[in-house]
Structure 1
């Protein structure tokens, strides 16, 4: 986030996308064994991870064909009352701010090249 807000990033870099894809693959491996990350019941691991994963999904959406369990987990977690109360609005604001900052950075880059 810092490079975006400092005007240095206009889109996720290739290495960032690779890291996000690695995270999705890891989640998919865990979620192929159970409904939640640490077993059949939701734990603090799920609550902690959903805050990060929903932000990543806003910038680099989870491919539901490649990561069906991860997509379903995110849908499930996003429907929980705690998520809607504590995370949904802030996540939407963060994603919106990041995307608009990236667009502004693209415009600055174009102007600088002129």
Structure 2
């Protein structure tokens, strides 16, 4: 299956070398990003304070758990102040899961 694209450095991210991170400040969620783990070659998203391993979120079970997390936060009154970044990471994860299903089903 294909790699993800790092929102920080623009290079490919292997599913086991990446994270999905975002900033949670009070009741605001923002700056959703798929990046490499921060290191010498990629700064990641140092302003973000919440993250999940990419390989966990990019499975069907992990994706649904992430959606449940978002729904729970919305129920608590949180808002997303950077909807475009959330759409961008969800599009990458959706494409990855879709490709896996196509490979599994042989379509």
With normalisation by structure 2, the TM-score equals 0.35
Name whichever structure is richer in strand by fraction.
2
- Per chain length, whose mean CA-contact separation is higher, i.e. which structure has more relative contact order (CA < 8 Å, sep 6+)? 1
Q: Which has the larger radius of gyration?
A: 1
